[in-house]
Structure 1
Amino acid sequence: MEIEKLAERLAGPEQKAAGDALVAIGGPAVRPVLDVLCDEESPVDWATSAMVLRRIGRPALDPLIEAMATAPTPEVARRCGWAHSGLEIDDLSTFVPGLSHPSPKVRDNTAYVLQLKGTAALPYVPGLIALLDDPDADVRRRVIWALQEIGPDVVPLLHDVRRSGAGRLRRPALEALAAIGGPSALEDRDRALVRRLIRVKLATETPESMHLCGTWYAVPTGDQPAVMDAFGLSDPETVTMRLGASAWNHDHHAWSGEHRSCRRVYVTPRLDGWTLVFGEPFDSHDDELDPAAVQGHCRELSRRFGAAHWYGASCGDSWTAWCVAEKGEIARYYDIEDPDDQIGSHAAEDDHVLPHIDAFPDGAFDGVDYNDSDAFLARYLQVKKDLGIPDNAHATTVAARASVDPAALGPATDVQGHGVLALTPCGREHGHPRGALDI
């Protein structure tokens, strides 16, 4: 009864003293504190009870694993996982049996524990490698992250798996190598294997709509060497369109302090007469969005190719922008964030409203609950139809009319040549970023 009362006092002003007392009791205190942790209605802050279990250490390990595996809700599983991942246990091997637990939640969280330990977890890498083909996608993803954090010393172990002949782990080991070290982590025969697969895929590839989140350039040419030269690129590696798009999205979103997004760019094949360049081809990361830099690059490119376009779109908000240069002059520049600094106009925007302009009259949404998305959308469409309000212009709108819209690629797109991944000056210094890509 004393232990239960101490657990209840974790919600009051004496929570520190109660927590210290429970830690001193140790094993017998685990179940009462765990009950509090798993009670979503408890007045005790869950992090407080979790910290007590963390400090108790080894006696809390098996009860937390059981609670995680049988958790009635995702929230309870999350709480137990957080407590489990911070248990004060010096011997890492104590956690390792969790890698073979029947519950994917436990396997995932055990891999996370090893991920947090970094190089200290190297002796337990074989147990992680065994999970590379785990039936649960979250576990497979977590294992990759853990191997990445443990560091480059896992690479030889993965090479051993690749050399071992036929086996269920050979393919996921190749993906793990790419995720951990990029192309440089692959052995020569594996790089040759990937290139052969790319050649096979290229023979039958059909263009697909691209997920757009970032910036890209478009120039009206199919002269890939000239494009490479104009953008200061080198070391082109032939890729499928799917691989190129995968690399751009991966590099743009997987920022981890490695200058990933400025190391390489995806140069498309000629698409309906235009070559698109995705990424940050120029030296400065700031150039990607700086109006003066963007306009300067477009001017220079248009002197060489007759025209040059730059587009920007965000998948996380409504940001969009575009720049059109012709024969060394800026014909149009627009950024929704800086509409007062726009330059010129363009016929591709005709019959559309610039996105910073609210074309709806005052009171158009009176009486609509803004938290009711269905009701809001219904009113929006009705008012838009009744008043004949045009669609908003967007980078894809302009691209579709003025060059080529990457989001609308498909079987009807005329494709000439093949795309490449190429290194920027930053990439020539640091190499390709790590990460497995879709082929």
Structure 2
Amino acid sequence: MPDTVDALVQDLSAKDRAVRRAATEALVALGAAGIDQLLPYALDKHPMNLGREVQSIIERWGDEVLPRLRGIRRTGPGRLRRKALEILVDLGGQEALNDADRRAVERLVRIKILDERPVKVPFEAGRWLAFPADRFDDAVSALELYDVRPATTVMGVAAATQATDCLDVQDSRTATRRAYRVFITPAFENEYAEGDIKRWRMLWGNSFLDELDGFELARELSGRCGEAHFYVLDPYNGSESWYVARDGHTRRAYSTYAYPQFEGEPLPFEAWYTENADEDEAEAYSEGVPDASTAAQNLSVEPGPQLAEDTYDHGWLATTDPAVPNSRFKGALPI
């Protein structure tokens, strides 16, 4: 079998698409019995540089390969143990790990968050809630979050925006409901933020905010935390939105494709932009500030790199269903 596996893996890089497809299907057909021969090719430093293709073949074997991957984690060979761990989590989430590996991952997270400075949250695109940092417990309660656990920022951002961030589960009556995973950032200080609140946290979770309506979530959150914001940067559709809610009511809102675009009276920070707009900007700023990132910079906190001296505490992962802990979500996360 080793000779056969070697030949098939080499065919994965063939110029002929039909040859590549045939090699892929032949390797998949080997099933979990081929894991020991195939796994070395999935290593990031393997000279053939076919890790992604090989890992996708292993993942197509599904649950049948989990026992052998756990065996490699226990007894080696040592050079394969890290990749075995990654694929285990990709296939089954942390629930696929044994107790020793789960404890090791949790211990590594605790170590990493001690000196994770500076941190960075995505700036180019996304959607996020912002709420006062000192109202963390209120926010968790208002949004009905569960299994709240420490997480590094790089881990949390990947969990909420790149990996699987929602899954469907069935109850005893076979009714289906959806559970979401979200990431709450460390607290970030913005001394230029309008008003008395200078430290804010952001909540990221694309599916959660899209499917449950980030505007409504911000309004509900403000009822418990006093104030909450929702921001959207959508370069794909050429649109931006920002929304401020206070004490459960809309205070100010802007959205590119809404009519009218602005809702509520202008906030104090907007007056400066209206008064200082140049000739090209005068029309855009005539009613207020249409830029979500500018609003975030003046009202709470803007995504992107955060200065170490302005960062407090650490991030948190959470889910929206008490029966669905973080360990149920599949996909290996960077730490």
TM-score, normalised to structure 1, is 0.60
DSSP-derived class of the 1:323 partner? strand
Contact in 2 for aligned 1:243/1:437 (Cα 8 Å): yes
Q: Rg larger in 1 or in 2?
A: 1
* Aligned mates of 1:419, 1:430 — CA distance in 2: 14
Cα 1:141–1:426, aligned 2, differ >3 Å: closer, same or farther?
A: farther
Give the partner amino acid of 2:306.
L
CA, structure 1 residues 144+222, in 2 after alignment: closer, same or farther (shift >3 Å)? farther
The correspondence of residues 36-115 of structure 1 with structure 2, limited to 5 A, is 96-101=5-10, 105-106=13-14
Which of 195, 200, 208 is 2:106 aligned to? 195
Residue 133 (structure 1) aligned with residue 133 (structure 2): no
Query: Is 1:132–1:173's contact at 8 Å kept on the other side of the alignment?
Result: no
Counterpart for residue 379 of structure 1:
none
Matches within 5 A, 1:237-252: 237-251=149-163
1:433 deviates by 2.3
Residue pair 2:161, 2:204 contacting (<8 A) in 1 also: no
For residue 340 of structure 1, give the secondary structure of its aligned residue in structure 2. coil
- Report what 2:194 is aligned to: none
Which residue does 2:57 correspond to in 1? 146
Which residue in 1 is equivalent to 2:136?
224
Looking at structure 2, the residues matched to 171 and 323 of structure 1 have their Cα atoms a distance apart, in angstroms, of: 44
Instruction: Measure how far apart 1:287 and its partner are.
Output: 2.4
Q: Which runs of 5+ in 1 are unaligned?
A: 1-91, 289-293, 354-383
Identify the residue that residue 307 of structure 1 maps to in structure 2.
Answer: 227
Q: Name the amino acid aligned to 1:309.
A: H
User: 1:206 matched to which residue of 2?
Assistant: 117
Residue ranges of structure 2 left out of the alignment (5+ in a row): 170-175, 190-198
Residues 188-219 of structure 1: CA deviation (Å, up to 9, x unaligned): 11111111111111111113222243321111
Q: Which has the higher helix share?
A: 1
Match of 1:401 among 275, 294, 298: 298
Flag the structure with more relative contact order, 1 or 2, with Cα contacts below 8 A and sequence separation at least 6.
Answer: 2
- When the two structures are aligned, how many residues end up with a matched partner? 308
Aligned-partner residue type, residue 54 of structure 2: V
For residue 332 of structure 1, report the CA deviation from its aligned partner: 1.4
Q: Secondary structure at the match of 1:428?
A: coil
Matched residue SS, 1:331: strand
Q: Which amino acid aligns with 1:297?
A: L
- 1:431–1:191: structure 2 CA closer, same or farther, 3 Å change rule? closer
Cα gap change, 1:386 to 1:296, in 2 (>3 Å):
closer
Which residue of 2 is the match for residue 14 of structure 1? none
Give the TM-score taking structure 2 as reference length: 0.76
Q: How has the CA–CA distance of structure 1 residues 231 and 255 changed in structure 2, closer, same or farther, with 3 Å as cutoff? A: closer
The answer to which structure has the higher strand fraction is 2
The answer to which of 205-214 and 224-233 deviates more is 205-214
Instruction: Measure, in 2, the Cα distance between the counterparts of 1:421 and 1:130.
Output: 32
1:236 maps to 2:144: no
Tell me how large the CA RMSD over aligned residues is.
3.8
Q: In structure 2, what is the Cα distance between the partners aligned to 1:275 and 1:243?
A: 16
- In the alignment, structure 1 residue 287 sits paired with structure 2 residue 198: no
